[in-house]
Amino acid sequence: MPTITHIEDLRVLAEKRVPRMFYDYADSGSWTESTYRANETDFQRIKLRQRVAVNMEGRSIRTQMIGQDVAMPVAIAPTGLTGMQHADGEILAARAAKAFGVPFTLSTMSICSIEDVAEATGRHPFWFQLYVMKDRDFIERLIDRAKAANCSALMLTLDLQILGQRHKDLKNGLSAPPKPTIRNLINLATKPRWCLGMLGTKRRTFGNIVGHAKGVGDLSSLSSWTAEQFDPALSWADVEWIKQRWGGKLILKGILDQEDARLAADSGADALIVSNHGGRQLDGAPSSIEALPAIADAVGSRIEVWLDGGIRSGQDVLKSVALGAKGTLIGRAFLYGLGAMGEEGVTKCLQIIAKELDLTMAFCGRTDIRTVDRSILWPGTYPGER
């Protein structure tokens, strides 16, 4: 086992161990992937102010996200097909998050079901991400299942009414489980650890949908159902309906525009997430970190503003907080850990980010994450300077 020191080490190991179609699903964007790449590179342009002769004792990166105590301002983002990065992936990631003290978010398009994760974590509260489908009866039952599973917040994704064109997924013939083509079978033969894990689990399809949505009893019927179910007519009226039906903490994901941020704040939601869906929807949209400051300035006093997209280190978390985010979410970073080493890899990912966050905060002269602001950033290097 190689020595793991940063997230890139986990990515390299995951690429070796995860079948190509599922690795590419996690590590790709839409069209030219310009927004996907910008999510990372725009963080690197932001420079930090080093301070010296400051008492660095008693540091704390603990804070709150929507009133929930968290070990650091990081939550695990909802990612589809997580259970195809590693057998029972959602369960393993949820366990790692619980032990570390950060929130875990389960995707509608997960392999393990809501009930699977609730049972495996002892009904420890987790968050559930909702896609709005045309079948409103199914959505109502999905919300009720999340309530029954003790989910403490609902995360509504707003930026996937239609699907962005993701070239790698199309070329790979992405499916769960993999289609038995010659190309896929050859690739699977090089991933024995992954194959053994999958042989040992019964969870190989979309657990929240198969057997729950009308007319979807197996994979063949699932494909046609998903192709027609994402609702392009989603509106702010639907957000209000979902808010009333859910009745608990509501998080809105996929905000990049200040006007949409104001509408999100007007909706009464508890938090919004500045996100471009990891660069997997509108290619050519700004990076999340570029869009963050203006949104935080516009509505940060009315609603919690979080950021998702491009975070690969604790320094990225610190820069996000400095620019107005009360919390962040990691998707690819934890998927790399999961694909590389299962639950241990997710824990390792969280440990790396926490350590980098703590040390960088200290070098910038701060000892409490709640006091971090733009003054820790080097002038002229960050978006949104006044």
Contact 209, 112 (CB under 8 A): no
The reported pLDDT for the residue numbered 247 is 98
Annotated binding site for FMN: 78-80, 107, 129, 157, 253, 275, 308-312, 331-332
Q: In the structure, what pLDDT confidence band is assigned to residue 235 with cuts at 50, 70 and 90?
A: very high
pTM surpassing 0.85?
A: yes
Q: Above pLDDT 70, what percent of the chain?
A: 97
Segment 192-215, tens digit of pLDDT: 999 999 999 999 999 999 889 887
Mean of pLDDT values over 126-149: 96
Angle of helix 136-148 relative to helix 236-246, nearest 10 degrees, comes to 40
Q: In the structure, what pLDDT confidence band is assigned to residue 170 with cuts at 50, 70 and 90?
A: confident
Q: Above pLDDT 90, what percent of the chain?
A: 88
Mean of pLDDT values over 236-244: 97
Q: In the structure, what pLDDT confidence band is assigned to residue 52 with cuts at 50, 70 and 90?
A: very high
Query: In terms of pLDDT, which residue wins out, 169 or 66?
Result: 66
Q: In the structure, what pLDDT confidence band is assigned to residue 284 with cuts at 50, 70 and 90?
A: very high
Phi and psi torsions of 70, nearest 5°: -135, 150
Average pLDDT of the chain, as a whole number: 95
Q: In the structure, what pLDDT confidence band is assigned to residue 175 with cuts at 50, 70 and 90?
A: confident
The reported pLDDT for the residue numbered 222 is 64
Residue (of 251, 207, 247) closest to 75 by Cα position: 251
Q: HSE on the CB side for 101, CA within 13 Å? A: 11
- List for the chain the helix, strand, coil content (%; round to 5): 45, 10, 40
Question: Is the pLDDT score of 309 beyond 70?
Answer: yes
Six token digits for residue 353: 């980010």
Q: For the beta carbon of residue 210, count every other beta carbon within 10 angstroms.
A: 16
Question: Is the pLDDT score of 330 beyond 60?
Answer: yes
Taking each continuous run of H as one helix and of E as one strand, the counts in the chain are: 15, 10
Chain-centre distance for alpha carbon 128: 11
The reported pLDDT for the residue numbered 94 is 98
Segment 80-111, tens digit of pLDDT: 999 999 999 999 999 999 999 999 999 999 99
Q: In the structure, what pLDDT confidence band is assigned to residue 320 with cuts at 50, 70 and 90?
A: very high
Residue (of 24, 244, 289) closest to 139 by Cα position: 244
Question: Is the pLDDT score of 248 beyond 60?
Answer: yes
- The gap between the terminal CA atoms of the chain, to the nearest Å, is 48
Q: What is 287-313 written as a DSSP string? A: PHHHHHHHHHHHHTTTSEEEEES---S
Annotated binding site for glyoxylate: 25, 131, 166, 277, 280
Segment 357-367, tens digit of pLDDT: 999 999 999 99
Question: Is the pLDDT score of 346 beyond 70?
Answer: yes
Least confident of 68-82, 147-161, 205-219: 205-219
The reported pLDDT for the residue numbered 339 is 98
Annotated binding site: 25, 78-80, 107, 129, 131, 157, 166, 253, 275, 277, 280, 308-312, 331-332
Question: Is the pLDDT score of 386 beyond 80?
Answer: no
Say how far apart CA 259 and CA 73 lie, in whole Å: 25
Q: In the structure, what pLDDT confidence band is assigned to residue 219 with cuts at 50, 70 and 90?
A: low
Question: Is the pLDDT score of 271 beyond 80?
Answer: yes
Residue position matching structure tokens 């038995």 = 180
Say how far apart CA 14 and CA 82 lie, in whole Å: 13
The reported pLDDT for the residue numbered 61 is 98
Q: Where do the H-state alpha helices sit in 18-72?
A: 20-26, 34-45
Question: In the chain, what are the domains?
Answer: 7-376 (3.20.20.70)
The residue type of 224 is: S
The reported pLDDT for the residue numbered 218 is 61
Contact 372, 361 (CB under 8 A): yes
Contact 232, 162 (CB under 8 A): yes
Contact 313, 356 (CB under 8 A): yes
Q: In the structure, what pLDDT confidence band is assigned to residue 3 with cuts at 50, 70 and 90?
A: very high
Least confident of 97-111, 159-173, 265-279: 159-173
Say how far apart CA 314 and CA 331 lie, in whole Å: 14
Is 277 one of the annotated active-site residues of the chain?
Answer: yes
Options 6, 86, 167, 277, the catalytic residue: 277
